[in-house]
């Protein structure tokens, strides 16, 4: 996997101060996407254990609330496989910090359902580490700057519970 950028001290993509990883590769290609350069799966730098180590070090301070995954599309199956070690190590090192994930895929139909478009052999485990999922493709016609943590009104901010039942995050 490649990644487009890492933003340290990010306050826009989740609650509190965070580290945000923008992965490369997205098949949605939403009109009006703020990060279209990251649609290309070959854009950016290689995602390695060294990258994971840098991310883990960056979230160590107590004032860092957690990690956010954006893109591109973190839930593309190839990206899920590459991100799994990061999420495993993150939750082992920082069980009190949260993980936010922004995905154009829909939780119930594309990710949770074993026949979903983005479901693969690691999806269930990956979802078990994600605390907040912002799901749904960006829709330029429903763009609304007043929405918290999302760009269009069709997108949802879901708090994922261990039993797999999403709850709208307020």
**pTM over the 0.75 mark:** yes
The per-residue pLDDT for range 90-149, each reduced to its tens digit, is 999 999 999 999 999 999 999 999 999 999 999 999 999 999 999 999 888 999 999 999
The per-residue pLDDT for range 50-74, each reduced to its tens digit, is 999 999 999 999 999 999 999 999 9
Domain ranges, residue 52: 2-168
Residue 38 has pLDDT above 80, yes or no: yes
- The number of folded domains in the chain is 1
Name residue, tokens 């954006």.
70
Residue 166: pLDDT band (50, 70, 90) is: low
- Cβ within 8 Å of residue 35, ≥6 positions away: 4, 22, 70, 71, 72
Coil, strand or helix: which one is 137? Answer: coil
Q: What's the distance, CA 146 to chain centroid?
A: 21
For strand 45-46 and strand 2-10, is the pairing parallel, antiparallel, or unpaired? Answer: antiparallel
Helix count and strand count (H, E) for the chain: 3, 8
């Amino acid at each position: 996997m490649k990644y487009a950028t890492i933003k340290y001290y990010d306050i826009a993509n989740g609650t509190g101060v965070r580290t945000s990883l923008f992965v490369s590769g997205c098949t949605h290609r939403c009109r009006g996407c703020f990060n279209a350069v990251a649609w290309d799966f070959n854009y950016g730098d290689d995602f390695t254990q060294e990258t994971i180590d840098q991310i883990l070090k960056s979230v160590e301070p107590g004032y860092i609330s957690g990690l956010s995954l954006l893109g591109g599309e973190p839930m593309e199956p190839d990206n899920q496989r590459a991100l799994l070690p990061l999420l495993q190590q993150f939750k082992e090192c920082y069980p009190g910090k949260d993980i936010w994930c922004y995905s154009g895929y829909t939780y119930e139909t594309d990710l949770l359902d074993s026949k979903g478009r983005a479901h693969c052999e690691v999806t269930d485990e990956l979802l078990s580490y994600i605390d907040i999922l912002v799901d749904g493709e960006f829709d330029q016609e429903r763009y609304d700057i007043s929405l918290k943590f999302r760009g269009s009104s069709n997108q949802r901010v879901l708090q994922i519970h261990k039993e797999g039942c999403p709850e709208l995050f307020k």
